[in-house]
Copies of this chain bind each other. A is one copy, B any other.
Amino acid sequence: MKILILGGAGMIGRKLTEKLIADRELLTADDTLYLHDVVTPQAPEGHDNVVLLSGDITSAEQTDQLAGLQADIVFHLASIVSGEAEEKFDKGWSINMRGGWALLEALRAQHEQSGGSYRPKVIFASSIAVFGPPFPEAINDEFLCAPQTSYGAQKACIEMLVADYARKGFIDGMSIRFPTICVRPGKPNLAASGFFSGIIREPLNGVEAILPVDPSVRHWHASPRSAAHFLVHAAGLDESALGTRRALNMPGLSCTVEEQIEALREVAGEKAVSLIKPQPDEHIKNIVAGWPRNFDPQRALSLGFSAETSFKEIIEVYIADDLPK
């Protein structure tokens, strides 16, 4: 078995790597794990057969090489984030769309060269950014994709490609639409959603955090631990369970920023909460106003995906998995 993770140096790539090694279900000790990113990923602990790769997926040579590994499972997590894709139109469409398409084309070429015997499982990390307002009370599994960011539009296009390549039998593919992943460990990134993590992570680390939106903003969250679970669970699913629809809304937790802050107060007290500094940012407010607030992800739940059920639980996952000791 060979497993390839594109975007292996990113936060979710690392969480996925750790889970694959800890679980020893998809990835046995003898299997090879290929980690690829635009910068060389760090070697993970606990697994010997690791190959570290770096390069630009907008280069056909690169995607040909990656597909040439003939990995059994390809996790496609490589992407620039929403804020950057919104600012840099060309870069976003180039990496998030052309890059993903080039990867699928290269995998199809491998499929055809193998006479059809090579048909990798491809798990594409999509996002709830494929949705745009006006929203229903809770987004069900049949709600349209009408993204209001370039990032969301790019994700929606790759979902279409994954579904069509899978329908034609070139790959066994599916797209999973992540909630906003919270609490992200480490440094802030350029994602417009970064503050949802920042207002929890920074205070827990004794640092001030900026809150650029209203406390009444409601959003849809799941922990990094859940994100890794979604990917591993997706890779283990039999594609026949998906029927004609290969993009799935993942489970998550709907809560307001105010409820996030209350959960922080409960876990870490008033002193932590006092480190959150409101500082309205129109740019971020506008982006976030176009994001979903709640879901009814019945298909994913019925297929065995699960996530946290309270924001307190999400904070506890951060403390257990990521808070520097």
Contact = CB atoms under 8 A, between A and B. Distances in A.
A156 interface: yes
Given A142-B143, A153-B160, A244-B133, A148 B167 contact: yes
A133 B290 CA distance: 28
* Identical copies in the complex: 2
Interface in A105-153: 132-134, 136, 141-148, 150, 153
A297 to B, nearest CB: 13
Given A89-B168, A133-B244, A143-B142, A153 B161 contact: yes
Contacts of A134: 244
Contacts of A145: 144-145, 160
B146 A244 contact: yes
A271 interface: no
A153 B245 CA distance: 12
A144 B142 contact: yes
Interface in A148-194: 148, 150, 153, 156-157, 160-161, 163-164, 167-168
A143 B141 CA distance: 10
A146 B168 contact: no
A286 B197 CA distance: 47
B142 A163 contact: no
Interface of A: 89, 132-134, 136, 141-148, 150, 153, 156-157, 160-161, 163-164, 167-168, 244-245, 247, 290
Given A142-B144, A147-B164, 8 more contacts: A132-B245, A142-B143, A144-B245, A148-B244, A150-B168, A153-B161, A157-B161, A244-B290
23 contacts: A132-B244, A132-B245, A133-B244, A136-B142, A141-B144, A142-B143, A142-B144, A144-B145, A144-B245, A145-B145, A145-B160, A146-B245, A146-B247, A147-B164, A148-B167, A150-B168, A153-B160, A153-B163, A153-B164, A156-B160, A157-B157, A157-B160, A157-B161
Task: Please provide the 9 A-B residue pairs with the shortest distance between their CB atoms, ordered closest to farther.
Answer: A153-B164, A153-B160, A157-B157, A146-B245, A142-B144, A157-B160, A144-B144, A156-B160, A150-B164
